[in-house]
Structure 1
Amino acid sequence: MAIIANAEVRTLAEPWSGEVRSGTHQFITDKPESFGGQDQGPAPYDLICSGLISCTMITLRMYASHKGLELGEFSVEADFYVNKEGKEWIERRLSFAQPLSEELKQKVLEISSKTPVTKTLLRSVEIKTVLVE
């Protein structure tokens, strides 16, 4: 068993705001004003999307480096959706500054579907919660 990530959040005075610490990094999490927050930082579902797109970018760059490919500058975006029936899904978009061959487009889509965070989200994850006293 290995820990591959760690984060801690501590409440702040403002409703819904918290200070997140992960390794040497710190940032604020909050809810949008429309949900009663101060919109000082990303909301929890924004962080899920951020994790997915960050992993996608890193995985594609690692793949390209390993294969000696030049992907050029690109961006990855994601939207988290939920419908009235409670179905949830994420739509991820890749945009490349330079044109890609059809073969490379297909490989990029294949690699994107196999990133570690993609796999985790697709299979779900068990969450165990304990009280620490």
Structure 2
Amino acid sequence: MSTSQITAITELDRSQYKTKIYAGGHFIYADEPESIGGSDEGMNPGALLLASLGSCTAITIRMYADRKGYALDGIKISLAICDEKDMNKETVITRKIELLGTISTEERERLMQIADKCPIHKILTNPIKIETT
């Protein structure tokens, strides 16, 4: 992750739930499924959160493996978040990491440790304070 402050701008007009998201010169949509009134033209916000964790985890693992010269051919990360009704107690995200390639048991174990060092993992596992103005 960049050492500069990360920012994003979201805009929603009268087009139901389809939200425009701008960040770092890039543009994507977030939306909700048609079953709840959206147009399903983008990932829902929960999926975007999981995508952030998954991509950050994969990038962190790849950076470390490349630096160490590991024969890591690929990384597949499957994520899921608990139902919203269960988030009153705690929010549970499950993350399954598959490491592809001819890496040793020791390298595999080290990469699984490195996975928890990704910046988004750190953000999500520490207290978060949201200041709204």
1:84 shift after superposition: 4.6
Q: Which has the higher contact order (CA 8 A, sep 6+)?
A: 2
Within 5 Å, give how 1:108-119 maps onto structure 2.
108-119=111-122
The whole-number CA distance in structure 2 between the counterparts of 1:82 and 1:101 is 36
Q: Is the 8 A contact 1:74 1:97 kept in 2?
A: yes
List structure 1 segments (4+ residues) > 6 angstroms apart after TM superposition. Answer: none
Q: Structure 2 CA distance, aligned partners of 1:68 and 1:90?
A: 30
Unaligned runs of 5+ in 1: none
TM-score (norm 1): 0.86
Aligned CA RMSD, in angstroms, stands at 1.8
Aligned length in residues? 129
Q: Answer whether contact 1:12 1:19 (CA < 8 A) is retained.
A: no
Q: Is 1:9 matched up with 2:2? A: no
Matches within 5 A, 1:78-117: 78-82=79-83, 84-86=85-87, 87-117=90-120
**Residue aligning to 2:42:** 41
Specify the alignment match of 1:62 in structure 2.
63
Measure, in 1, the Cα distance between the counterparts of 2:52 and 2:35: 24
Structure 1 stretch displaced more, 114-123 or 3-12? 3-12
- Identical aligned pairs, as a percentage? 29
SS in 2 for 1:97: strand
Aligned mates of 1:84, 1:13 — CA distance in 2: 28
8 Å contact 2:79–2:93 — kept in the other structure?
yes
